[in-house]
Amino acid sequence: MSANPLLPSTQPVIVLTGASSGIGRAGALAFARDGAQLVLAARGREGLEGIAAECRQFGADVLVVPTDVTDATMVQALAEAAIGRFGHIDVWINNVGVGAVGRFEDTPAQAHRRIIETNLIGHMNGAHAVVPHFRARKQGTLINMISLGGWTPSPFATAYTASKFGLRGFTEALRAELGDLPDVHVCAVYPTFVDTPGFTHGANYTGKHLKPPSPLVDPREVALLFVDLVHNPRPTVSIGAVAWPARLAHALAPDLVASTTYGLMDRSLAHADPAAVSAGNLFAPTQGHAIDGGYRDARHAAARKLGAYALGALALVALVALVALAALRPRPRRLA
């Protein structure tokens, strides 16, 4: 058993979806190092067996359950398999996420639907499977991976934005429903862009090569945040340098933030190299199971420049909004 103070003294049973690559793979390894018992889920068995073998090298007891989170029956079977193997579930992490980049009308309707089914309905399926178990035990932690996209809109990714805004609302409503159970926690995680293979795996309907904007978060940082939430659950956690500035800017001037983001994205795509249109991993298991996307190591000057533009734009938006609010604030009348 691990002596790491971040985890409880007993080995927690953790169900982790989206475990075969990126943040999920990093999370599985972080929990394995700290003595957790793991139930790993994703659509493809090959990727799951690979990460399970790595986790077992740290002495972790691992169960692999291939699962498509858009199928409520499969998600219920995942919960039952975890309870059947370990007797209970302590933590359920909804980590699956997919996306498509492209103008709304250029992106097929079935792609929009698939994103909503995966990012929103998939998380709801996970919660629906585990919440009765948590309620019966009067304890448990549900962690929903949302992203900064739950607070700020992403032009050229409208379905992704809809799914994340919806997921934030769902998470807050469910947390309120479970408020009578002080030892049942519903946690929301809001990272900024993370250096995972997600941009490579995701759908691309732009016809241009895609790069995530800097600065990028190391997926292992998000994994350690998962571990910390097991010990110290909090309702909302953001990670990434621009997370709070972006949320503040959107709260003060949402239309300006959206139009600025659109301008940056449109300019970036205009100068990007051509690329094939692809549905990515929307309708099939991910091919490739790395933790990192490799964008931080590439050190492209254009990516760094775009990140600097984004940070500057966010700061400018916040400043303009604050000035506007100050100008609109009613001034006290002078007494005659």
Catalytic residues, by residue number, are: 160
Question: Is residue 306 helix, strand or coil?
Answer: helix
Calculate the dihedral angle through the C-alpha atoms of 167, 168, 173, 178, rounding to the nearest 10 degrees: 90
The token duo for 70 is 């858009």
Q: Give ∠ CA 88-89-92 in degrees, rounded to 5.
A: 165
Which residue type is seen at 331? Answer: R
Helix, strand, coil share of the chain (percent; to 5): 50, 15, 35
Phi first, then psi: give them for residue 15, nearest 5 degrees. Answer: -95, 125
Distance of CA 66 to the CA centre of its chain: 20
- Contacts of 7 by beta carbon, 8 Å cutoff, 6+ apart: 34, 35, 36, 227, 230, 231
- Contacts of 196 by beta carbon, 8 Å cutoff, 6+ apart: 21, 22, 23, 219, 291, 292, 293
Which of these, 63, 60, 95, lies nearest to 225 by C-alpha position?
A: 95
**How many residues make up the chain in this entry?**
336
Distance of CA 153 to the CA centre of its chain: 15
Let me know: does 99 contact 115? Beta carbons within 8 Å. Answer: yes
